[in-house]
């Protein structure tokens, strides 16, 4: 709060002090298909905004293009619904110049892991303070059923009608492999309480908090998460006092893995999966990693001071 | 009293917290300038402002009058509000122009240190007061009878918790014999730092009675010793003292127990006390003894419980002292 | 302009000092070139010579001669690297025609300049002669062949044993010759040695004392050699001026202009010749709280800048053609979301690494039309280094006032050219304001387009009650996504309308020369000085030619059609490709034209012609004059 961009006028003397309800954070009526996992992610997000009482005018949701990227339109905050794959650069520019804002980036799997891959990788490395949520339905939804980088091998789509040719990209191991990674969690749309707790932990993390949400798309990838939805045995919950604690999920899922989120090595091993089970929880957190928005923060000067500095600069070039 | 170069070196050590405050101040100046220039151009439709904004490149290329009339007209404001804001702009610019001067205080010999510090904070506080008035004016809640005084003095007691977080450190030059620091406890909140640069002879442990769990307290000979003090994200008080005085550091982050936190580098003999008007030798000795006691671990520390430490004689004293300080510095409800 | 006492063709060794006072050759302007293999420091020498001349009150224009490769093979014509410095008694606006004085570190780089017809017929050439007796037979043969080829011209070649002399002071002459040459040139041109030394101190301020002292010793060697061997001096008298001046290159001017405009966020990805803006800013920007963000690519750079602008700044990004291509989608989005953005494009040739270090006015049409869908925007082209500075202030203001993208097109010529100009008188009102954080009045909408002007008030995150979602989708005044055709049409109309509004505030361009005549030459960007010099010469020859130079290319300045109507012919002069009218297969119908030419034809329906040249170097006045004269000769297939 006392970061270099803080102005004395940011003291919220005239701000709306009334308690905001969930409805106060809602905007347009979501246009997602019935049963779409994005509804649940939106609900959890609204709950987060409400429980944290975030100032609506101080909150910005950035997104790319996709079904998932419609997200900002359904929230009564500021938003930037930009280009396919490019939510993160915009979010980075916002947070770097306005550290007083709460910044969220919402992406689809095509958005984040295909066209926006360079930005994803570098955003993890920059570790700019924000929440990045990947709504992973394993398919291109908006453009109607094309293979995405996370589509399971063999899954048929309009572009790969014989079934996806390649093994899917694993967003968790990818993120955990990137230098300066500071927060990686996985949750799922069908466990809203866990989703909420995960978002909450991500919000409170200082740095780039990457949350992958396993998101059902009943229209194009109806089957893919059903094993986990129907049979809680197929889910393994990462639990730890320093991790994400959600009694609901702990009651529902009997398979618990006690995992200390400080352990990057173990996080990578667990993220690898391999036993066909879905692992939910906090894989890794390290709040001590340097944050680019802070590394690059500079003191501010008045117009007159700037002129003084610039005049000194011109002196160097004086004839 | 001549100002010595320890002051400038101290300012260097404190550059971090000073620059956060100054850049918040600079941002505020620019905020107010922005508000004013929109209000002004809404008031008078003079092309001068618009012309200037467009720069020299526009000369001969852009019809500036036309440009000005085409831009959307902003909301109108009454003249009194504009005048008030102009006053605030001057006030804030003046504070910004004082550069490091804004955080420097010289206490006249014989004056009461506590009052001098209170007055200095009240002066600096005008920046916060001004910011409040801007907010109140924008939201049409400003009332002369209630708020005008914020621009004259804005005492520490009125500062909000976030203002206390961003408050700049204060560097105070004070004669050694006036160095009675106990009264400053009420200002040690948020991230407020106070550095007392003692001139001439001074009591051996003037800060001993300010040691409390969350407050960074240092007695040092040289400003270079203030790096950790400056970086600490909480309140702190330091004194630059002469040869004859005690040197110690109480770093709240250094441990849970008082003897972990308090490191005494030099403890003068109890007979090193000096003759000072109004400060009896036995009182000075008492301060030294207190220091020694807080810094000393009990002979057989109970290995199991850190909490047990507070039951030891030194711990008890620290707790008592802390309770007393907290009571004095109780800022709830402000 | 001829040098008396020319010794034709034969190369000569320097005569011994006669003891007599040297002859003074007075000139109102002179062009000097220093060429070497890359890495031999010819550019540093040229920069110091240019800066000292500027500081003495001469008009100066400096251009870098840069090979495309970092380490081209030694002693190859393609590797010629160095500087051209044109100095004059009055303001110099371009790099001139041919060099009058040349210093060459080997005969191959000299050959390169000779073959490019860059040297005056009577040029005085100082040539390193160590190659004649080189141990490698091949080198000796090359030397002989080169001198043979050069002997066909009337140059006055003065051999200088640079290596031999420098070895008396340094172990490796390769790193010292440039300073020796500096001493030599400064003696020939009677430069103020105290300023030379001061400039060396400045240029090598980051180096050790020892380096500076060695350089000064080398300069003194050059001085001594010149005093002992050269029977002439050249005098280009400076003009006394009491106006304070500054001297810098165009990229530095862009960076400083941005600072003067109060902009404090720049995102970029390195690309020659734009990168040096960020080099400069990396050194200076942070002093005033500015951040240069080197993004992962140009797309991200544009995205970060847009994010910063959305959050209340007016951010900018700097790039060159290939980078501009990557930014197109974001530029379209900034237009659509009405997010202010300044894009500086330091133009160069071609895709990939086409002509990476060389000048081309390559991107006018790409800038204007390159985005998906309609993307009305403002395009400004500064013509001088001074304008590089001042245009940034205007660009910032327009971007903010019109909530639009402003592109500033400079080029490699401006980027690396160095010219003195009056020191700007900085004004706090040039600077961008802090983001407005006042509550938004009830019931105002984020795109509340004024029905006539299309202008609307910008909402900035942090403003209570202003919450909206900027979107690239078709949206209404409240920024609600809409699939209604009429809404889409309204948005397109309003964004376009703003450009018409801006154009209405623009003044018609000035015509240099008579208001009517046979030919009007129209230019844009960095070619202004060369065009005007050529037009002046043509007028001196009695041709009825005038010129006009466009700084606003979108929207266009008004009155063009009327101005064009006053001339029998109109032609653009540009540094980009147009088909030669007489080339095989080229007809009037299929001929591809210069970029401004296309635009002007569409804009005015006047049959505008063009003359363009795309040799990877700035235009020379004599070449433009040739192009002008061609318009007056008959029998062309026009
Ligand atoms: C540059 C560009 N390329 C392609 C598209 C088309 N496109 C829009 S959304 C999308 C994929 C969406 O998939 P995903 O990111 O997984 O989001 P989802 O709809 O599944 O939530 C594509 C290919 C585009 N809008 N822009
Ligand atoms: S297509 Fe799939 S992802 Fe898109 S809204 Fe429908 S269910 Fe959701
Ligand atoms: Mg998807």
Give the minimum alpha-carbon distance from C459 to chain B in angstroms, rounded to a whole number: 13
Nearest CA in chain A to C459: A78
- Identify whether A1 is part of a domain: no
CATH code assigned at A64? 3.40.50.970
CATH of region C246-430? 3.40.50.970
Pick the CATH number of C511-634 from 3.40.50.920, 3.40.980.10, 1.10.8.190, 1.10.10.60: 3.40.50.920
More confident residue, B68 or B308: B68
Q: In what order do the strands lie in the sheet with B216-220?
A: B104-106, B170-175, B193-199, B236-240, B216-220, B247-250, B262-266
Tell me if C6-235 shares its fold with C246-430: no
Q: How far apart are CA A33 and CA A68, in angstroms?
A: 11
Query: pTM of the predicted model, to two decimals?
Result: 0.84
Neighbouring chains to C with at least 3 Cβ pairs closer than 8 Å = A, B
Q: Which residues contact C104 (CB under 8 A, 6 or more apart)?
A: C35, C36, C110, C113, C125, C126, C127, C128
At residue B42 the predicted structure's pLDDT band, cuts being 50, 70 and 90, is low
If we measure between CA atoms, which residue out of C320, C264, C258, C261 comes closest to residue C288? C264
- The pLDDT score that the predictor gives to residue C330 is 98
Is B66 part of the contact surface with chain C (CB cutoff 8 Å)? yes
Q: What is the ipTM of this complex?
A: 0.95
- The pLDDT score that the predictor gives to residue C574 is 97
The SS3 assignment for B307 reads helix
- The closest CB to that of B61, out of C397, C434, C506, belongs to C506
- Mind spelling out the 3-state secondary structure of C478-531? CCCECCCHHHHHHHHHHHHHHHHHHHHHECCCCEECCCCEEEEEEEEHHHHHHH
Count the domains in chain A.
1
Q: What is the DSSP string of C260-329?
A: HTT--EEEE---TTTHHHHHHHHHHGGGGT-EEEE-SSHHHHHHHHHHHHHTT---EEEE-HHHHHHHHH
- The pLDDT score that the predictor gives to residue B321 is 56
Of all helices (H) and strands (E), which one includes residue C250? helix C250-260
Q: Is the pLDDT of residue C53 over 80?
A: yes
Distances (CA, A) of A317 to B137, B200, C428: 44, 48, 20
Question: Which of A9-18, A268-277, C250-259, C271-280 is the most confident on average?
Answer: C250-259
- Which residue's C-alpha comes closest to atom 7 of ligand 1? A143
Q: Using most ligand atoms within 8 A of CB, pick from A74, A216, A220, A223 the residue to mutate for ligand 2.
A: A220
- Mind spelling out the 3-state secondary structure of chain A? CCCCCCCHHHCCCCCCCCCCCHHHHECCCCCCCCCCHHHHHHHHHHHHHHHHCCCHHHEEEEECCCCHHHHHHHECCEEEECCCCCHHHHHHHHHHHCCCCEEEEEEEHHHHHHHCHHHHHHHHHHCCCEEEEEEECCEECCCCCEECCCCCCCCCCCCCCCCCCCCCCCHHHHHHCCCCCCEEEEEECCCHHHHHHHHHHHHHCCCEEEEEEECCCCCCCCCCCHHHHHCHHHEEEEECCCCCCCHHHHHHCCCEEECCCCCHHHHHHHHHCCCCCEEEEEEEECCCCCCHHHHCCCCCCCHHHHHHHHHHHHHHCEC
Domain ranges of chain C: 6-235, 246-430, 436-505, 511-634
Q: How far apart are CA C445 and CA C451, in angstroms?
A: 14
Q: CB distance B57–C507 less than 8 Å?
A: no
The residue ranges of DSSP E strands in B187-329, in sequence order, are 193-199, 216-220, 236-240, 247-250, 262-266
Lowest mean pLDDT among A187-191, B301-305, C129-133: B301-305
- Identify whether A57 is part of a domain: yes
Q: Using most ligand atoms within 8 A of CB, pick from A32, A84, A105, A217 the residue to mutate for ligand 1.
A: A84
At residue C10 the predicted structure's pLDDT band, cuts being 50, 70 and 90, is very low
The answer, yes or no, to whether any atom of ligand 1 lies below 6 A from the CB of A109, is: yes
- The pLDDT score that the predictor gives to residue A273 is 87
- Identify whether A164 is part of a domain: yes
Best to test chain A binding among B14, B22, B23, B192 (most A CBs inside 10 Å):
B23
Q: Is the pLDDT of residue C119 over 70?
A: yes
At residue C304 the predicted structure's pLDDT band, cuts being 50, 70 and 90, is very high
- Kindly state the DSSP code that residue C90 receives in the 8-state scheme: S
Q: How far apart are CA B57 and CA C552, in angstroms?
A: 11
Q: What is the percent of chain B with per-residue pLDDT over 70, rounded to a whole number?
A: 84
CATH class of domain segment(s) C6-235: alpha beta
- For the beta carbon of residue C71, count every other beta carbon within 10 angstroms: 10
- The pLDDT score that the predictor gives to residue B296 is 87
Q: Which residues contact C31 (CB under 8 A, 6 or more apart)?
A: C84, C85, C86, C87, C95, C96, C97, C98, C99, C100, C101, C120
- The pLDDT score that the predictor gives to residue C9 is 40
CB of C456 within 8 A of CB of C439?
A: no
- The pLDDT score that the predictor gives to residue A109 is 98
At residue C636 the predicted structure's pLDDT band, cuts being 50, 70 and 90, is very low
More confident residue, A8 or C372: C372
Mean local confidence (pLDDT), C162-171:
89
Expressed as residue numbers, the domain containing A56 is 22-316
Mind listing the pLDDT tens digit for each residue in C450-478? 888 999 989 999 998 899 999 999 999 99
- The pLDDT score that the predictor gives to residue C195 is 92
């Amino acid at each position: 709060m006392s970061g270099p961009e803080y102005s004395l006028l940011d003291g919220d003397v005239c701000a709306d002090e009334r308690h905001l309800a969930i409805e106060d954070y809602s905007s347009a009526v979501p246009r997602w298909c019935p049963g779409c996992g994005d509804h649940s992610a939106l609900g959890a997000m609204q709950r987060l905004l409400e429980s944290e009482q975030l100032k609506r005018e101080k909150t910005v949701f950035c997104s790319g293009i996709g079904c998932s990227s419609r997200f900002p339109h359904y929230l009564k905050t500021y938003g930037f619904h930009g280009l396919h794959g490019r939510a993160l650069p915009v979010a980075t520019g916002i947070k770097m110049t306005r550290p007083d804002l709460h910044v969220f980036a919402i992406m689809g799997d095509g958005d984040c892991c295909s066209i926006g891959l360079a930005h994803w990788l570098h955003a993890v490395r920059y570790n700019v303070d924000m929440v990045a949520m990947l709504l992973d339905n394993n398919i291109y939804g908006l453009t109607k059923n094309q293979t995405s980088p996370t589509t399971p091998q063999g899954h048929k789509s309009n572009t790969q009608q014989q079934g996806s040719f390649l093994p899917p990209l694993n967003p968790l191991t990818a993120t955990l492999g990137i230098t300066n990674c500071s927060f990686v969690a996985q949750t799922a749309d069908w466990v809203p309480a866990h989703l909420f707790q995960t978002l909450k932990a991500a919000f409170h993390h200082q740095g780039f908090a990457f949350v992958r949400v396993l998101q059902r798309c009943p229209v194009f990838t109806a089957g893919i998460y059903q094993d986990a939805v129907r049979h809680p045995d197929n889910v393994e919950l990462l639990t730890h006092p320093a991790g994400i604690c959600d009694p609901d999920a702990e009651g529902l899922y009997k398979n618990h893995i006690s995992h200390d989120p400080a352990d990057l090595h173990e996080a990578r091993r667990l993220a690898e999966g391999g036993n066909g089970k879905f692992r939910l929880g906090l894989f890794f957190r390290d709040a001590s990693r340097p944050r680019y928005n802070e590394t690059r923060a500079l003191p501010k000067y008045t117009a007159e001071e700037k002129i003084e500095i610039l005049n000194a600069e011109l002196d160097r070039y004086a004839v | 009293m001549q100002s010595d170069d320890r002051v400038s070196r101290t300012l260097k050590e404190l550059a971090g917290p000073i620059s956060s405050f100054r850049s918040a101040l600079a941002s505020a100046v620019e905020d107010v300038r922005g508000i004013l220039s929109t209000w002004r151009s809404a008031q008078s439709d003079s092309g001068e402002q618009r012309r200037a904004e467009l720069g020299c490149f526009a000369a001969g290329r852009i019809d500036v009058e036309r440009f000005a009339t085409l831009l959307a007209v902003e909301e109108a404001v009454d003249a009194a509000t504009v005048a008030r804001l102009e006053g605030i702009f001057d006030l804030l610019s003046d504070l910004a122009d004082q550069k490091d001067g804004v955080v420097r205080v010289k206490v006249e010999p014989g004056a009461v240190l506590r009052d001098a510090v209170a007055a200095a904070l009240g002066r600096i506080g005008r920046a916060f007061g001004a910011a409040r008035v801007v907010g109140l004016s924008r939201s049409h809640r400003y009332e002369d009878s209630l708020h005008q005084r914020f621009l004259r003095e804005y005492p520490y007691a009125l500062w909000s918790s976030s203002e206390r977080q961003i408050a700049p450190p204060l560097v105070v030059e004070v004669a050694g014999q006036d160095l009675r620091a106990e009264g400053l406890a009420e200002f040690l909140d948020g991230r407020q730092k106070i550095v007392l640069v003692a001139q001439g002879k001074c009591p051996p442990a003037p800060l001993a009675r300010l040691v409390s769990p969350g407050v960074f307290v240092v007695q040092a000979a040289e400003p270079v010793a203030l790096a950790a003090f400056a970086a600490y994200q909480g309140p702190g008080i330091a004194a630059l003292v002469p040869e004859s005085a005690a040197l110690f550091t109480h770093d709240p982050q250094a441990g849970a127990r008082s003897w972990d936190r308090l490191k005494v580098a030099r403890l003068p003999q109890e007979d090193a006390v000096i003759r000072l008007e109004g400060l009896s030798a036995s009182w000075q000795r008492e301060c030294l003894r207190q220091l020694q006691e807080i810094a000393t671990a009990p002979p057989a520390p109970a290995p199991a419980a850190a909490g047990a430490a507070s039951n030891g004689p030194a711990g008890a004293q620290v707790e008592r002292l802390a309770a007393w300080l907290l009571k004095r510095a109780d800022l709830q409800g402000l | 302009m001829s040098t008396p006492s020319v010794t034709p063709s034969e190369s000569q060794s320097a005569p011994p000092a006669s003891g007599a006072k040297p002859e003074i050759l007075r000139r109102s302007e002179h062009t000097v070139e220093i060429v070497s293999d890359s890495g031999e420091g010819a550019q540093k020498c040229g920069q110091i010579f240019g800066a000292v001349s500027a500081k003495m009150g001469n008009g100066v224009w400096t251009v870098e001669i840069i090979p495309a490769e970092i380490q081209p093979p030694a002693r190859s014509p393609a590797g010629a690297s160095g500087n051209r410095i044109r100095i004059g008694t009055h303001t110099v606006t371009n790099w001139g025609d041919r060099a009058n004085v040349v210093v060459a570190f080997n005969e191959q780089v000299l050959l390169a300049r000779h073959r490019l017809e860059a040297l005056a017929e009577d040029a005085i050439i100082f040539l390193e002669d160590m190659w004649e007796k080189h141990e490698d037979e091949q080198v000796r043969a090359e030397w002989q062949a080169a001198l043979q080829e050069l002997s066909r011209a009337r140059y006055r070649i003065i051999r200088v044993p640079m290596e031999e002399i420098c070895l008396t002071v340094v172990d490796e002459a390769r790193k010292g010759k440039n300073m020796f040459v500096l001493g030599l040139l400064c003696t020939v041109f009677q430069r103020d040695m105290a300023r030379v030394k001061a400039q060396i101190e400045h240029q090598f301020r980051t180096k050790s004392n020892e380096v500076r002292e060695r350089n000064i010793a080398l300069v003194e060697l050059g001085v001594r050699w010149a005093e002992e061997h050269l029977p002439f001096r050249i005098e280009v008298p400076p003009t006394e001026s009491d106006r304070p001046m500054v001297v810098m290159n165009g990229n530095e001017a862009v960076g400083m202009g941005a600072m003067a405009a109060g902009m404090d966020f720049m995102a970029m990805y390195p690309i020659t010749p734009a990168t040096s803006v960020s080099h400069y800013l990396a050194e200076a920007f942070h002093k005033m709280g500015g951040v240069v963000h080197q993004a992962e690519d140009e797309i991200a750079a544009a995205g970060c800048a847009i994010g910063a602008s959305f959050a209340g700044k007016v951010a900018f990004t700097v790039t060159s053609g290939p980078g501009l291509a990557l930014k197109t989608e974001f530029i379209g989005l900034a237009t659509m979301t009405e997010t202010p953005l300044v894009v500086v494009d330091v133009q160069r040739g071609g895709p990939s690494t086409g002509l990476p270090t060389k000048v081309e006015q390559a991107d006018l049409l790409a800038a204007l039309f390159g985005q998906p869908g309609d993307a009305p925007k403002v395009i400004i082209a500064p013509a001088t280094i001074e304008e590089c500075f001042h245009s940034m202030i205007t660009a910032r203001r327009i971007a903010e006032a019109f909530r639009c993208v402003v592109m500033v097109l400079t080029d490699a010529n401006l980027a690396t050219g160095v010219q003195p100009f009056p020191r700007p008188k900085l004004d706090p009102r040039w600077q961008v304001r802090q983001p407005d954080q006042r509550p938004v009045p009830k019931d105002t909408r984020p795109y509340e387009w004024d029905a006539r002007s299309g202008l609307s008030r910008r909402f900035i995150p942090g403003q209570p009650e202003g919450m909206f979602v900027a979107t690239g989708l078709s949206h209404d005044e409240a920024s609600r996504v809409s699939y209604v055709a009429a809404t889409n049409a309204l948005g397109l109309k309003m964004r376009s309308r703003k450009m018409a509004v801006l154009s209405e505030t623009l003044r018609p361009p000035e015509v240099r020369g008579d208001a009517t005549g046979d030919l009007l030459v129209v230019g844009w960007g960095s070619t202004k000085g060369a065009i005007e010099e050529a037009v002046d010469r043509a007028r001196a020859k009695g041709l009825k030619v005038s010129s006009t130079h466009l700084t606003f290319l979108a929207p266009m300045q008004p009155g063009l059609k009327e101005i064009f109507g006053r001339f029998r012919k109109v032609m653009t002069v540009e540094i980009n490709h147009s088909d030669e009218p007489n080339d095989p297969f080229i007809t009037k119908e299929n001929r591809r034209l210069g970029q401004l030419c296309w635009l002007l034809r569409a804009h005015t329906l006047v049959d505008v012609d063009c003359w363009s040249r795309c040799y990877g170097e700035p235009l020379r006045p004599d070449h433009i004059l040739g192009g002008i004269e061609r318009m007056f000769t008959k029998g062309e297939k026009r």
